[in-house]
Structure 1
Amino acid sequence: MSSADAVTPALTDGLEARIVARRAGFVLDAGLRVPAGEVVALMGPSGAGKSTLLGVLAGLAAFDDGTVRLHGRTLDDGPARRTPPSARGVVLLGQDPRLFPHLTALENVAFGLHVHGSTKAEAASGAAEWLRRVGLHDHGGRRPAKLSGGQQQRVALARALATTPAAILLDEPLTSLDTETAGDVRGLLHRQLAETRTTAIVATHDAVDAVALAHRLVVLEDGRVTQSGPVRDVLASPATRFVAAVAGLNRVVGRQDASAWRAGALVLPQAAASTDHASGETAAVFGPGEVRILDGPPHGPGEWRARVVRLEQTPAGVRVRTAEPDVAVDLPASRAAGIEPGATLTLAVDPSSVRFVGA
C-alpha cells in the first residue's frame, strides 16, 4: 500500500482492508478501499492473488497480518482476532454457483433467508420475489440439474442478494458461461447491484466486466496493487503492460532525451512527448489499430522495422505481434494474408496519436 493510502482516514461506511498473506513462493501485500454502495473491479493476471484476497475478506482464508473493516465494524484485526464467515455479513460468489442439488431454485434462495431469521412463509415469499427479479419466476420448482449454467448463476445471485449482505464478493462469476449468457448475467448484475446499492468487489479477467459493472478498478500483480482509480482513467493510462493488454493498447517503454524518444528501432520526435514527463524513461501508449504496415524501408519519425513474433485472432481480424519493441498491430484478415512469424515488416504510427505516460 502506498504512503498516501497509509494516511487516508478510515472509511466509516464501506469496505477497507490491508492484508499480508504469505504462501509458498508468494506474498500478498495489498490494500483495498471500497466506499459504501460502490462496485470495484479487481483485475490481475492468474496467480496475482485475487482469489486469496477475496478469501481473506470472506473469512475463508488465513492471513499473516492486517485488518479488515466493513461499514465501521472491525472484522479482523490481525490473524488472532477474526470474525467467523457466518457473522461477517459478506457473501462470496464464484464460478461454481454451489446450489444445493436436492433443493429447487425457490428452496435454494429461501434457505439463505431462513438461515438469516425469516420464517418459512417469509422465506418462500422473499425467494419468489428474488427469482422474479432475476428473471426466473417460472423456474422456482426446478432443481439445479434442470437449469442451464446461466440460470444457476442467476439463482446463486438471487440467494446472495436476498439476504441483504453488507458486501458481496464476486470471483470470476461469468468465466464459465458462454458469451451471450455472460452478457445477460452481466446486465443483471449491473441492475441488481445498482438497485440494492450493495458494496461489491468483482474479480475478473475481462475488461468488459470492469467497464459494465464497476466504478473503480484496482489492478493486482504479483501480490501488489500496481494501479487503481476510476475505470476509464486506469484503462486510458495503463501503468503496466498487463493493464495495457487489458485495455487493448500498446505500452512501449523507452527513453526520452532532448531530441527524441526511442525504444529499439522506434523513434518519435521530442515534440510528440508530453512535457509532463522529464527526460528519462517514459512509456508510449497507442492503439494497435493506429499502427500501419508500409511498403519499403522506413523514411522518417514513427516508422521502423520490426520482426513478427506471432499472429493472434481477434473479433475483427488478426493481431500481429512484433518484437524490439513489443508492438501489436491490428489488421483485417485479408490484409494479414502472407504475414508469417519471423518476417520483417515496416511499421508506422502517427506521432500525434501517441500519448506518453510515466514508466
Structure 2
Amino acid sequence: MKIYNFNAGPSILPKKVIKKSAQSVINYNQTGLSLLEISHRSDDFLNILDKTTDLVKRIMNLSDDYIILFLQGGATLQFSMIPYNLMKKRAAYLDTGIWAFNAIKEAENFGEVKVLFSSKKEKYTYISKNYKIPNEADYFHCTSNNTIIGTQMKTFPKTTIPIVCDMSSDIFSRELNFREFDLIYASAQKNISSSGMTIVIINKKIIGKIKRSIPSYLDYRIHMKNNRIFNTPNVFSIYTSMLTLEWIESKGGLSYLEQENEKKAKMLYEEIDRNHLFENKIDKEDRSNMNVTFFLKKKELEKKFNRIWKKENIIGLEGHRSIGGYRASIYNALPLKSVQFLIEIMREFERKI
C-alpha cells in the first residue's frame, strides 16, 4: 500500500536508509551483533562517528575549525545549553515562531535578552529584515525555518558577533555559506535521522569564554575533551544520520536537493494560490520550502476534505494543534510524485465542491 508521508517530524526518510538501518538492527556489518548491541567505545562505532562527522563537514564545506557533536535532549536542550556556554551578559534574538519564542524564554534565565524583532502579534506570518544587531551582544540567535507556521529565512544578516542558528527543520535542504555561522543546531527527526539525537556544529573559537560553572553534560568543552563521547550516545540515530548523509552526497549534494525542494514548494504554493478553496497566510517572500501551511477558506469543509485525503493514504497533513488547518512537510526524502498526488486531491476536491 502506497503511503504519502507529510509528517512534520519524525518525518520521511529515504527508503534505502530505512532498509539498511533495519538490516543493521538484525546484524550490523556481519558482526553477528545488532547495531543496538555494539559498544559505543568499539571500533565499529568509532568508525561510524568519524565518518558521520566527515560527511557533515564535507557536505557543509566546513573546516576543522568546527567540531561536530551528536547530543541528546533535542533542540529544546540547546535553548539552555547555548546561553549557558555563550552568554556573559546579554544576547540578541529574533522571535519568528513558537520555537524561537521558547528559545528566548530559556535564554532569559541566563541574562538580558534583546528581542530585535517579533511577529508574534501578527501570528508569525512574516519575518522582518529591518533590524539592527547590537555589537555589544554576546551572540545573535535566529531560527532558519519555522516548522509550525511555515516561514523560512531566505537570507541571513552580516554581523561582527557570533551567529547561532536553529536549523532543525531545514538543515541539509539548501546551499548556504555555513561558515558564516558560529553555532548551528538541529534536531535529527526532520532531514537527518530518527528522533533522539541533535547535531550541534560549533566553531571552536567561541567556546571557553564563559567563567561560570556549567554542569558537565551542558558544557560543550566537556564533549570536545571527551572526543564527542562524554556519555553513551544515540548509536542508532548517528548511524542513520551517516546513511542519510551518504544519500545526500549520492544525489548530488545540497545544490541538487535545493533545486528539488524549490520545485516541490513552487508547485504546491501555486496550487494553493490558484485553488479557490484554499489559502496560505504567509508573506510570499517568507514562505517555507520545507513546511507548507494552508487553510480552507470555509472551515465547514474540513470534515469533507479530511475524509478524502485520509482515504487516499495521505498521512501527517494536519496542521499543528496550535493553529489548525493543514501542513505539508516536504522534506528532502519526500518525492515529487507525493506533492503531485496531493495537488491532484486538492483539485479533485475543488471540482466536487
Q: Which TM-score bucket, shorter chain as reference?
A: under 0.3
More helix by share: 2
- Greater share of residues in strand: 1
Larger Rg: 1
